[in-house]
Each structure stands twice: as C-alpha cells, then as structure tokens.
Chains A and B, each alone.
Chain A
Amino acid sequence: MWLLRLNSRLDRSLLCFAVVLLLAPVVQAQVRDEGTRFFESNIRPVLIKHCYECHSAESGKARGGLKVDSAEALHRGGDTGPAVVPRNLQKSLLHEVLLYGEDSYQMPPKGKLPDRVIADFRKWIQMGAPDPRATEINPDVKTEIDIEKGREFWAYQPPEMPELPPKGDWSRTDIDRFVAEQRTQNGLKPVGDADAQALIRRLYFVLIGLPPSPEDMQRWMSRITLSGRSTSLDQTAVADLIDHLLEQPQYGERWGRHWMDVARFAESTGGDQNNTFLHAWRYRDWIIDAFNADMPYDQFVRTQLAGDLLPIADEREWADNIIGTGFLAVGVKLVGEEDQQKYFADLVDEQIDATTRAFLGMSVACARCHDHKFDPIPQADYYALAGVFRATETHYGLLKAQARQATTLIDLTGMGPEAGTPNLSRDEYAKLIQARDDARTTVEDAMKKIRSGENVFRGTLRRIRSDRDETEAALQAFLGNGQPRVFAMGAQDRDFALPTRLLVRGELDNPAQEVPRGLVKVLSPEGKHTLAKWTTDPAVRREKIAADLGDLSYKSTSGRLELAQWISSRNNPLTARVMVNRIWHWMFGHGIVRTVDDFGSAGDPPSHAKLLDYLAIQFMNEGWSVKKLIREIALSRTWQLASTHNDAAYSSDPGNIYLWRMNRRRLEAEAVRDAMLAVSGKLDLKRPRGTLLREAGEGNVGQNVFEPVIRGLDWDHRSVYLPRVRAVLPEILDLFDAPDAGLVAGSRDSTSSPLQSLYLMNNPWMQKQAVAMSERVSEAPGSERIRRAHQLVLSRDPTKTESEAAIAFMTRISDARMSTDDKLAAYCQALMCTAEFRSID
C-alpha cells in the first residue's frame, strides 16, 4: 500500500534504481560470460603461446618479476608495475609493451604481434580484462620425493623366496632353520623344549583363548607324551591337537578378536558425540565366521574393501559381502561436526588410515597435509586414494536428532541373514505404533505453540524431536507383521565420483590441482599409479579375471574394487608380509617386524628378513590360508620352546629378538575374562543373538544412553560379544589393556597396575566366579579339592610346596569364622589372582 503513495518522480526514480541494483549481479553474470568467452578465444591462446615460456609457474620463470598465468598475477604485475589495469590502457603496461614503442620494453621478444591481436588486447583491457583464471585454485603442489629411490626400501621390494639354511641338528621345520641360523650368528643357544603340559595350555590359549579342562588336559597329555617323558612329544599328536583346536568355533572368536583390534571395531562412533551403533555386531560376527571358515586372506581383504561390488552367486553371498564392508563404517566419527564437507573429509581420512595401516602397514594418512616425512608417499598419493573413498557412501545409521551426521543403513531384509531381535507380537507392534504416533503428536503440538507465539524451551524441543526419531526408527526396524528387518552398516558407491583436489596443508579452502583416483606410487608399477593407467596393464586384467572380480570398471564405480584388487594382489610387496607378521605376533607375542602397523622407515626393520619373505610367499602359495600358516608355526620347534629364563642369553638378547626361548606374556583382557568364566563353569559358549547393547538403547551416550547402564551390561558369553562402546569399555577389559578402538591396533600394551590387583581381589564379579568355581571344586572329595582347583585354574597338579601352602592357608583363615565354602571360594579366588593363571607360558 505504501508503494501506491509514491507520487513523485524522485520516489519512482529511487525505486527503479534500487531494482536495477538488485538485478545487477545477475545481469553482470551474463556480461562476464561474454567477456570470459572473448578471453578464452582471443587472449589466453596468445598468452600461452608467446608469454608463458618466460612468465608462468609452469615454466618456473618470472622474468622481470612478472607472471601472466593468472588474473591476480597480471594485476599485480612485475618489477615495473601492474601489467593490466582494467579499462585503463595508459596504465596497462602489457598493452604498452605489445605496441613495441621505442622507449619501452618490446614483447614478445621474438617479434611484434599482428595488429589484429594487439587490437584484441586493447579491447579486452577496455572491457575490464575479464579473466576466469580465478586465483582460489592454488598452483600445482609438486613433490620432492624421489619415488624411484624410495622403491629401494626393503618393504617396497617384492618378497623373494630365500634359499633354505642348512638343517642342522636342532631344526625340525623350515621355520626353525631360519631362526636357528640367526640365533647361531648371534652366539645364542635355545633353551629346552616346553613340556606337554605347558605346550597344551599354550595351544589352547593361543588358538581358542580358553584354558583346557582337566579332562582335556589329561587326554592330550597321554597322547602327546612319548615314553612317559613329558618333554618328549609326539608331533603327530600335537598336530592332531592343533587341527582339533582350529576346527572349534572358539578359534574364530579368538582370532576374530585379534582382527577386530586391527579393524578398530567398536559399537559406537566415539568422538564428540558418542552415538551407539546397534548394527555393528553383524560385522563382528562376519569376522568370526570368516576366520572359522578359513576364508582366504586375499578374499577377506577384498570383501572388506569392496564387498558390495564383488560378483555374487546368490543373495546370501551378496548380504555377507555387504556386511564385510562394515570395515569401512565402524571407525571413529565426529558426528557432531556441523560442516558437512569437513566431516566428509575426516571420514575419508579415517578410512584411508585404517585401510593402509591394516592391510599395508603404511601411514598414508600422514600425507594429508604434506608429503610424508619419512616414507616416499607424496601428498598426491593421499588424494588419489581419497578420490576412491570420496566416491563411496558410508552407511552407519544413527538418529538424526542426536547426531548431525546421521546416515541411512543398508537394508538386507529377505536376503538371508538372521534378524538380531526376536519377532514382535501384534500387541508389541501396536505399542510401537502408538509410541510413534504419540511422539509425533507431541512435536506437532509444540510446533503449534511456537507458531502461535509461545515459547518452547529448546531443550524440550530437542528431546521430543529425539523421541519422535527414536520411536520412528524403532518402528521402522520391523515389518508390518512384527518381523524385524535386517539392517547392516557398510559401503555403497555413489552415483558419480566426486572430483578431488589436493588440499594445501589439508585445508578445505586451499585446493590445488585435481588428482585422479589412484594408488600409492611407490607400490605400483612405474607410471601406472592412476586407476586409468593401472587398469590397462595386461597383468592386472589377467589377475582380475583369475580372481573372478567381474566386469565393473572404475569409470562407473568408486574404484574400490580396483583398490581391493591392488592390495590383495600377489604383486603387492606388503600385503602378505604384513599379515604374516601379524600372525607371527599373535603367536609369539611380538612380530618379526615389531612395529606391526608400520613397515615404513620409522618402523623397525625385520629381525628375520628371509624368514619373513619365506612365510609371505608360503602364505600366498597356500591359498592365503591363515589356518595353514598357524599350523605350520605351531608345529615348529621354535614355537614349542619353553619360556625358561637363561642368564647368558638374556644378557645378550634381553628382548628375545632371536627367539632363544618362547615369550612368556600376559593374556589379553578377553582371554582373562573368558578363562575366569571357564574355570568357574559359567561360560556360555553359544553365540548370542544380536548385541547386548540393544538393552542400553540407541543414541548419544550421556543423552539417552547412559554409561552406568552400559557398564552394567553383563552376561556369561565370551568377551568378544560384550558391548564395545568407545570410552565405555567393560571394566575388566579396560583394566587389562583392551584397546579403545580409536585407531588400528595391531598390538596391545601389557601394563601391570595396582588397579588390576584391586579388581581381582575385590570386585563382586570376581567373587561370583570364585564362588561358582568353589562349587565345582566341592564336587571332588575333600582330599582332592586342592588338586582339583589347581587343575582347573593352572592345568597342573600342585607341587608339594604349593599343597602345604594351600593347607596352611585354609587353616589360617579358619580363625576368621569363615565357613568351609567361604574358605574354598577365597582359595579359588587366590588362584585366579595369580600371574600364572593369566599368563601364557
């Protein structure tokens, strides 16, 4: 209405002027468009042809301080002033030098340009010198790393089958020959072999993570021991024991747990807003099943990186492959991050770090902001890999109301995997619908209040929106008939690849050159590190066909399939070495390369380089079978050495690098807990359905999922199935150095602290196990109970001294008015507190 009162010419003029100004930016875009076209067709070609040779970043020259390869450089000019001043011919030195005046510079030096060209420059300057060469793209970042020299490093050269050292008197297997050769060269002699009891116990803990029962111990002792001498062992019987243990489902749980350390498996995001993953357990179970089935390691790698792209035989295999890609989804995520591009960059960074450390023992993520400081990994290699992961969608779920960066999950309903929860009854389903409808109504009422001008507390709004999302998610987790849907975390390809630029100092606002998707140069054939070049290699094509990887091309996908093929290739110098070294580490307590996650120059060199190569090639030749390698190692005399101390050897080699004995080491946290449950008789070996974490709920820890509730969750299944929420580990696991899954953790610390002792002595859970164990022990006759307790806990009979000490112990505490049962429980607990119980000898 106010507009209608504009009745003066001035008012109308002002209004028109305002409208013109508003539309000016859009109109100017059109004008710039024409100017850009003129520049591209008339000016840039001339600059490239006649000027770049001496005045560009590409040529590395800037004669007179002048570069002409960007708008900013032209405007800045050189030693004598700006080269171009838009719309001002007098001040534009570029125009002056083109005119070839006698009193000025004459450019280009090879001869005056045609008048027509000079006229174009004149026109261009007069129109404002439009130049689309925006300066926000930084000049190309070049590396100073000499890749060829970098290839000389031992880890980047293909393994070669070494000549076997002489057998000698001591060696039993090929592994022993390599170890004995190094030991002899260092003037060391091995200690004796482990006796049957120690060996059987060692095999049980290393292979399945549980102590042998007294009955198992007796049975295998009688088979393994030759001639009644416990140190003379029947290797055929030992092999049978190894095979027996490798066939147990507990093997997959034990070794799967090792791999979960490497895969940084956890059931929450960690980071700023620690949200629970209620579907990560599928990936956990997939790992365990893969180890039990002895999935070839190369296939294991490919499935975790690109399972969704692998050819399938049926829908069940499809579902399993997708679950395997949970490797890419379970890492730490800062889901509270507001800037979605920064979040995505960090997600990609985490995936690159996990992939390269886990499978290649390389720290490529160190090259995000600069060339690697120690290894021949230029920054461009990082962004070449980033391009592959940027073309990938990562699905991990979460509630939108509680995590800014929530995503969808992958729906596998009807494809074969079992649901993680039981079916709902009709009433239960109806309750879910009601809860969802009530939550929606509450939100709508609040919004009506807001629209009508009433104030609604922001915290309340957040809570009721969270309730709405939670109830909606809870309902959508089921089909209409109450049958649960099957969801999984994993990866899928985007519809298009995102172009990736190298970021100077890793800053999003500082892009430089575009980097094509590719691989790590130092591990790739020369000149074939981009996906485009690598996939044209005939050897690569043959390998792809042999591995039955299908026909998908990186051009229509993310490139993860090519990345997976490259990593799992026999020609990759690192993959087999790294895995073999990990297996050695889990068998011996330390690896041939001690820094199991870093095979670079900042890591340790191999103590037995030839042995490492031998094992790597054997591993590949045996179909990448983990079980076969474990068997070969376990049958070696080196592995069957006793752990006896020797002063002379210790003074020469305190770290036992040359394996003059077996390393005595403490059990991992999970094995400690499982062993306690086993001896108490309470261990439930059945695999639970889904995850215990479901009882704590879904959402943000601290907001609607609470730490005391998570820590209070407990059951008698194996520890691998306990909830693994980052920063909220079960107490016993936390105390005994279970990793928090923030990073790839190929090896664990082994600390010794008073808190551990206090837990073992005072914790109610410990006491409960001790009581249960004492009830088992009570079944034996009175005179046999001490012996029975020792057999259960330490897998051996007590020595005379120990028996006497035990009796004295029982007698001494009789004054405290404890019942016989209490005394026995206390004694059982004392046994479980011993270092011998929680060590592998």
Chain B
Amino acid sequence: MRFCEPERSKGRNQQKIWNSRGQSSPKRTNTGQSHSESRLALMIRRYSILVVVLAFTTAVQADETFVILHSVSGNRIQVSPGSAGQGMGPRGRGAGGMEAQPTQGIGRGRGRSGGGAAGGGRGRGRFGGQTQPKTTTVNVPSTAKITTAMRERRTFEFRVMGEIAGGLRNPIFTRMKEPMQARIVTRNNTITEINVITGDTDINQTSTSSSGESIIAVKPKRPPMKRK
C-alpha cells in the first residue's frame, strides 16, 4: 500500500495515469537478499513515511485542516477527517510552507475506490468504500469567515473564493444534501475561516455548473408594486 497517491478521480483512467507516472512496484523481499536486510529496508521505508505523515499532520494541525462537512445546524458543524490536501490559497497560506502538490489521500490503498474523501475535483463526492465516517461536532465562532473554494483543474491548487452571504445560514448549508469538502483554518486554536468546495457555484457567477448547465443570465427579484 502506498500512503502517497496523486489526487485524481478514482476511475480506471486515473489509475492508468498513476501507473504511467508512478514509481515502480515495491520490490519483493524474496529475491535473494537476506531476510534481516530486507526487513530493515522495509522498516526504514515505513518510518520515513511515518515521519512525513507526522510532519504533515503537525503542520496541518497548526493552521489548516481538510475535512468533510456533513451537516450544519446553527453554528455547529459536523465534520469528519478529509484528505490532507495540500495547496496554497491565493494569500499564500501553505500547509507547513510546503509547495502545492496534488493532494494525497492518506491511508488509502490502491484497491479501494476512493475510500474517505478525496480532495480533488469540484466537490463531486467520491465516497466509495467508506460508508460510516466518524464525525465530530464543532462550534464555529460567529467571527469566522465562511467562503467558497475550488481546486484548480490542472494543478489541483486549493483556491479560496468569495465570502458566502449569510455564512452558515446560506441555503448551500441549510439545504445541503451531500457532504462537502472543506478546509478549516484556525489560529490560536480558534476557527477563523472555513472554505467550502460547493457543488454549484454562486448563482451570481456564470459557469457550467456541476450539473453541466450553463447559466449566463438570471431572472431579477421582484420589487413591490406601487400603491394605487
């Protein structure tokens, strides 16, 4: 199993890409080397990976945490761990100062079709495999800023977009049907910002929505009638 996988869609094509770019399969230990030497090599590899995980987790814990947002109730949100997507927002907040890289799914094997939350894509849920994520309820202070976010198509760079009017009261949250990927930003152990990758963009933003429909104009909101 590899901890590190490029964050892509989890279809067969993605596996092909990974295969075409990934490293060669780990060598088997029974190829003529002594048992103790191969065991040592395996231990070293595991420890080095663990060090990377520890460093990454520590960095994320200090500033940004990727989660899956399951539900919103008032100022309380229910979240489960998301993929530790690394990326730098436009204001340069990097995860531990690391360069932006394709998000890597932790603890996921090749055999699983995207267990846990993927950090890639535009909010299209890829939750195959893990049906009951462990959730935690978190209080969000009223001063926290709630924004939309997206991932760049090619680089998967995490990009913070605009503020969501109404914050957690916005219908995006009150009427959410599917979990959404999000990043929680904390400072001094307080949540200061939540960046949510929403399925549909703000209606004020023209785009091809996740349902494939292009919207270039909206009907206006009706004002009151004049008194007769």
Contacts and interface: CB of A to CB of B under 8 A. Distances in A.
Asked if A pairs with B, the answer is yes
Interface stretch (A207-215, A247-255, A547-555, A627-635): A547-555
Interface string A550-574: 1110000000000000000000000
Contact of B214 (A72, A476, A487): A476
Given A29-B136, A338-B159, A407 B205 contact: yes
Contacts of A408: 203-206, 215-218
B32 interface: no
Interface string A191-228: 00000000000000000000000000000000000000
Contact of A498 (B57, B84, B165): B165
Contact of B227 (A21, A311, A321, A395): A311
Contacts of A508: 91
Size range of the interface on A?
Answer: 35 or more
Interface in B104-159: 106-107, 109-111, 134, 136-139, 141, 143, 147, 154, 159
A11 B165 contact: no
B98 interface: no
A397 B206 contact: yes
Interface in B183-222: 187-192, 203-208, 214-222
A440 B49 CA distance: 43
A411 B220 CA distance: 7
Contacts of B40: none
Given A21-B54, A22-B106, A496 B165 contact: yes
A33 B189 contact: no
Interface in A306-330: 308-313, 318, 321-322
A186 B120 CA distance: 77
Interface residues of B, number: 75
B161 interface: yes
Contacts of A137: 143
B21 to A, nearest CB: 8
A135 B226 contact: no
A758 interface: no
Interface of B is mostly: mixed
Interface in A356-401: 391, 393, 395, 397-400
B53 A18 contact: yes
B44 interface: no
A411 B187 CA distance: 43
Contacts of B204: 393, 395, 407-408
A452 B67 contact: no
Interface string A32-69: 11001000000000000000000000000000000000
Given A408-B216, A487-B217, A452 B13 contact: yes
Nearest to A338: B90
A26 B223 contact: no
Contacts of A498: 163, 165
A311 B224 contact: yes
A451 B18 CA distance: 11
A495 B166 contact: yes
Nearest to B47: A14
B109 A472 contact: no
B38 interface: no
Nearest to A499: B167
Contact of B138 (A29, A131, A343, A473): A29
Interface in B26-60: 26, 46-47, 50, 53-54, 57, 60
14 contacts: A1-B109, A1-B111, A14-B47, A21-B53, A23-B81, A26-B80, A131-B188, A340-B161, A406-B206, A411-B219, A451-B13, A476-B217, A492-B220, A509-B91
Interface of A: 1-3, 11, 14, 17-19, 21-30, 32-33, 36, 71-72, 130-132, 134-137, 308-313, 318, 321-322, 338-344, 391, 393, 395, 397-400, 406-412, 451-453, 458, 469, 472-473, 476-477, 485, 487, 490, 492-498, 508-509, 548, 550-552
Given A309-B223, A496-B167, 7 more contacts: A25-B65, A28-B189, A29-B191, A411-B220, A451-B13, A472-B208, A473-B216
